[in-house]
Structures are given as structure tokens and as C-alpha cells.
Chains A and B, each alone.
Chain A
Amino acid sequence: MKHITIIIASILFSTLFYNQKIGVNLSIFSIISILILLVSNTQKFRNKTTIIYTLLYLLTAALVFIQHTSLSILANVLAFITLVGSVKESKSSIYVQWYNGIYTSIAGYFHRNLHKIDNETTKKDIDVLHLVKLVVIPLAFITVFVVLYRNGNPIFSDLISKIDLSFINLKWILFTVLGYYLFSNIFSPVQFDFATNKDLQTGNTLQQSETFSTEILVKEKQLGTTLLLLLNILIVFYLTTDVISLNTKWTEAHVLSSQVHNGINALIASILIAIVIILYFFRGNLNFYENNKTLKNLAFTWIILNTILVILIAAKNYNYITLFGLTYKRIGVNVYLFLTLVGLITTFLKVSKVKNLWFLFRINTQIAFVLLMILSVVNWDNSITKYNINHAQSLDLNYLINLSDNNAVLLNEYRKSNNLSSNQSNRIITKHRNFVYKLNSRNWQEYTYSNFELKTISKTSRNNEYFK
């Protein structure tokens, strides 16, 4: 039963992906993968976490078809890995699930083979090695002798060269073997025992060690208090100057650009160092030391001041976007700011609720995963184009033309309703034409939602030059 299921799945795998680009095939592959996992691990799919990951995987599969963006493909792959890892052990942290998911997908067969070796005494297996020898050794010798005989007899050589095996598509067969390997790996997921057990045994709360020196703690507290106090003063000074500079009107793109990007670089460094310093001082027994209130308050103040720094950078980025529109870099800045804010909040929680480092890893990776899923819902090329056309005070049309084909229709509509330079107009026409050509030359495996949209457009605009 297992082998038949995997063979059918691998044939479908080849049908979907052999010589094809990504499209509806990845969405169908997601459904097949879920079915394979469901067939072999029915019990695990009663678990709430696994059900949530399955739904997320299905959502990303739908997004690959609808949005067809790199981000949705990335989200789909990550959701696949997470689901496979979760089927094996749903209680482990998400990064352990990722590890187990990757490990299962690439080496599950080898891992399971070890267990087979261990259980070999109870079960008598077919001697695969003997079967392989039975095929490979005669085949190798026949090949050698065929080559030797070819040189000795021209009629034999002629006959051999007439053998035409071109009807067998060996590449397709190899691709099917790859599919078989992948499905056989995920059929019953495996885990990295050492990491998984360690993760399951480790809680989120920090434990006080039995032996510690009060003298060392006092010294550490003094150092921490001095350092954080000085850093707080410095950041207050920096924030004051930053607020003043924010009120100054800068309308030149390069001035604002360097301001935001330099600000971001400074922010990256300062917040990472801030988190590392806080984590260093609150790594162990100082959390349980009675006279640590001043140090804790200074740490909280510093976190709050860093949060203000994040808000100021966000304000600068907002100004920048209002004036010059959205770009991937500017969106990236916002994403980074959000993640930084999350990092600061979780660090705050770590210190106030006496949590350990694993708590930070767990919660932050989980939030990053959810954020990726949310971001993959949006068709960014389309959204950037729409926003910039409607809201940006200064439109950089060349940037929009250089984006992926996802905004081709939108740009073409904009071209029709506006007077553009001949160069820009031609570039948009070429882009749109290429987009329509690509859509029309797709195989069914590569179909996306755009193909169906195109059919609707072609029905409504019969006079369109591309649909004639």
C-alpha cells in the first residue's frame, strides 16, 4: 500500500514539475503532500497545531496560484517544512520543527533505514543488495562486452547502433525517482532526537542555580547599572537631536534616503547591542538578586527609549514613502522596524517575567513565521504600483517598469490614461506584451490566476491589439 501510494504520487510529481515552471503545480503538490502525510499519519492530524499548520500550508498553496510571487513560494516551502516537522513532533519549538522538516525531506529514508537495521532480527527483509547485484553486475559486463564486440564486427556494430531507445524518456524517469525519494522521505517523518528531546525538556522560565556568589552578583549589578545609566543618557540626547531633525523639512530624495538608511543602520547596531547587553546582564542569577530593581528599571527605560527610536525611524520612513512612494527597500525597512519592535517587547517580557533565552528564540521565530505568512498574502508588485500611481508625490515610473510582470496590466492601464514619454510608453507596451505572451504560452501545470484573469480581459476587450 505504502509503495503504491508513493509511486502514484511520484508519477504525479513528474507530471506536475518535469520541464515546468512554478504555477498551479505547486498548489497541487501541496495537496498531494498533505494527502500523503494524512494517509501515513492519520492520528497526528487530530492535533490542533498540526491542523493549523495544514490550513496554513493550504493557504500558501492557494496564494502561490493567486499571487504567484516569490514571497508566496517561499512561504509555501516554509509551511511545507513546518507541517512535516509538526507531524513528527507538534509540541516542539517552530525552529526545531523546521529542522525536523528539512531533515525528513532530505534524509528521512536513511534515518528510517537505521531503525530497520535495528529491527532486522525480528523481521526478514528482501535482500535488496542481492537484487541490485543481480541487475547491475550482469548489466555492467554486458555493456563492456558490447563495446568490445562493436569494434570487432561491423555488422554487430551496425545492429547495435540501430537500437533506438528514444521512446523511453530517461530524464522523466529520473525525475520520478526524485519524486519517489521525496515522498518516501515524508511518508513517515523523522526527527533529530537530540535537538527535539532537548527542546521538549527545556521550558521557558529561567531557573536559579543552586550555588552562586553574592559578591560577583553585586559587581555585575554595579557594572550593569553604570553602563545602562550612561547608555540611557546617551540615547535621550540622541532622541532629542533626532526629534529636532525630524521637524526640519527635507524634500530632496537623496537627503531623506541617506537619513532613513543611515538611521536604520544605526538602529540595527544599537538595538542588537541593546538586546545583547540586556541578555548578558539578565542571563542568570542577577534575575533573582533582591537588589536588582534599579538595574531592571534602567533596562526597561532603555527598552522604552529604543522603542521611541523605532517610532522615530518609522516616522522618517513614512515621510519618505509619502513623498517618493513605496519601494521594496522602504517596505523592508517597515518590516525590520516591526521585527525590532517585537524583539524589544519580547526582551521586555523576558526580563520582567524572568524567562530564558529559549523563550526569546521560540517566540521571535514564531512571530517571524506568522509575519512571513501575512506578507505573502499581498501581491507586492501590484500594491507598490497601485500606491505609487495614486499617492506618491514624485513617481519613479522606471522603478515600477523594472518590477516583475505582476504589475504589467496596471502599468498598461496607466499608460493608456496618461501622456508618457515614448521611451517609457514603449517599455510598458513591451512589458505588457511579454506578459501576455508568457501567459498564453504556459502549460496547464504553470497556470496561475492571471491566466483566468487574462481570459476575462480578452473577452471584454476584443479590440485589444494583443488578443487579435
Chain B
Amino acid sequence: MSILSNIGKSSLLAMSIFWVINLTYDFNWDYIPFVFLSLIPIYFCCAIVILLTICPIFWFSVSEGFNRQQIFKTYFPIYAIIIFGLCSYGIYKTKTDIFAISFFVSAYISTLHSWMWFVKPKKVNQNEQTTLCK
């Protein structure tokens, strides 16, 4: 999957999770425009996180001859635990504020999903070869 498409999908996922949690605690129809406006900062956040933390792993590993499955099996468990630790620490430090919870939960799930989208083969044609992180 291409990076732009991945960032786009991750942003939509992050936005959905973020607002589902937030609106569950405090629903107001007036928030709806902000839901859509929030896509812009969320997109930037996702882009920065994906470009700085996930893409380099794929770029360096591909250049060393790893295939997508090997990259996933080698680095994903470490990445998942580090991200979980950082997000948990963030929630703990902000004293379980609902905004912080929704931010860190959406960050955690969307980054892990982003890995899945990078690893998942493109379903254009079953015989067509898939490419990683173009």
C-alpha cells in the first residue's frame, strides 16, 4: 500500500476512534462540524507518526532484503510494546482525562493498523506482485 493511502486510512480510523470515545462521554450536535475539521490535525499527526516511526523500519529492512512478513514478525512485536508503553504512560500522566484517553487509544490502534495496511498485499490481481511502502 502506498504511504499516502495508508496515512489517509489511518487518519480516518484515528478520527473515528477519537470522536467515538469523546462523544460517548459528552455528546452534543454542535460538535459535529469539529469532528470533520479535526481530520486536518489528525492527518498531520498520523503523517508524522507513520513517516517517522513506521516507514523507516520498512525502508531499512527492505534494503537489507527482508520481505514484508519478516519485517512484521521481527519489528512489529517490539513496536507494539513500545507504543503501548508510551500511550499507557501518556494516559497515566494526564490522570486519565477523557481527551487524553481518546487521543492515545486512537493513536495506538491506528498505528498498529497502519502496520497491517503496509504488510497487507494489494488485492488488485491475485497474480500481480505486491509492493511494499512505495
Chain B, residue nearest A102 (CB)? B81
Contact B73 A107 (CB under 8 A): no
The docked-state distance in angstroms from the alpha carbon of A148 to that of B115 is: 37
Chain A, residue nearest B12 (CB)? A136
**Interface set, chain A 173-220, CB cutoff 8 A to B:** 173-174, 192-195
Within 8 Å CB of A122, what residues of B? none
**Interface set, chain A 370-407, CB cutoff 8 A to B:** none
Instruction: Quote the shortest CB–CB distance from A359 to chain B (angstroms).
Output: 24
**Interface set, chain A 110-159, CB cutoff 8 A to B:** 110-111, 113-114, 117-118, 121, 136, 143-144, 146-147, 150
Within 8 Å CB of B90, what residues of A? none
Instruction: Please classify the interface of chain B as helix (H, G, I), strand (E, B), loop, or mixed, using the class held by over half of its residues.
Output: helix
Known interface pairs A110-B113, A171-B25; A143-B120 also in contact (CB < 8 Å): no
Say if the beta carbon of B86 comes within 8 Å of chain A. Answer: no
Instruction: Quote the shortest CB–CB distance from B71 to chain A (angstroms).
Output: 11
Say if the beta carbon of A106 comes within 8 Å of chain B. Answer: yes
Contact pick for A160, options B16, B29, B116, CB 8 Å? B29
Instruction: Quote the shortest CB–CB distance from B13 to chain A (angstroms).
Output: 10
**Interface set, chain B 83-115, CB cutoff 8 A to A:** 84, 112-113, 115
Within 8 Å CB of B43, what residues of A? none
Interface size of A in residues (CB-CB distance below 8 Å): 28
Contact pick for B81, options A103, A114, A117, A173, CB 8 Å? A103
Say if the beta carbon of A255 comes within 8 Å of chain B. Answer: no
Contact B73 A103 (CB under 8 A): no
Instruction: Quote the shortest CB–CB distance from B60 to chain A (angstroms).
Output: 16
Known interface pairs A114-B69, A117-B121; A107-B77 also in contact (CB < 8 Å): yes
Chain A, residue nearest B123 (CB)? A120
Chain B, residue nearest A118 (CB)? B69
Within 8 Å CB of A173, what residues of B? 24
Within 8 Å CB of A111, what residues of B? 76-77
Within 8 Å CB of A146, what residues of B? 29
Chain B, residue nearest A105 (CB)? B84
Within 8 Å CB of B74, what residues of A? 194
The docked-state distance in angstroms from the alpha carbon of A160 to that of B28 is: 12
Chain A, residue nearest B20 (CB)? A174
Known interface pairs A117-B121, A136-B16, A143-B32; A110-B73 also in contact (CB < 8 Å): no
The docked-state distance in angstroms from the alpha carbon of A103 to that of B77 is: 6
Within 8 Å CB of A160, what residues of B? 29
Instruction: Quote the shortest CB–CB distance from A361 to chain B (angstroms).
Output: 18
Known interface pairs A117-B119, A118-B69; A144-B36 also in contact (CB < 8 Å): yes
Sample 29 A-B pairs with CB under 8 A, ordered by A number. A99-B81, A102-B81, A102-B84, A103-B77, A106-B80, A106-B81, A107-B80, A107-B84, A107-B112, A110-B76, A110-B112, A110-B116, A111-B76, A114-B76, A114-B119, A118-B69, A121-B126, A136-B16, A144-B32, A144-B36, A150-B29, A161-B29, A173-B24, A174-B20, A174-B21, A174-B24, A192-B77, A193-B73, A194-B73
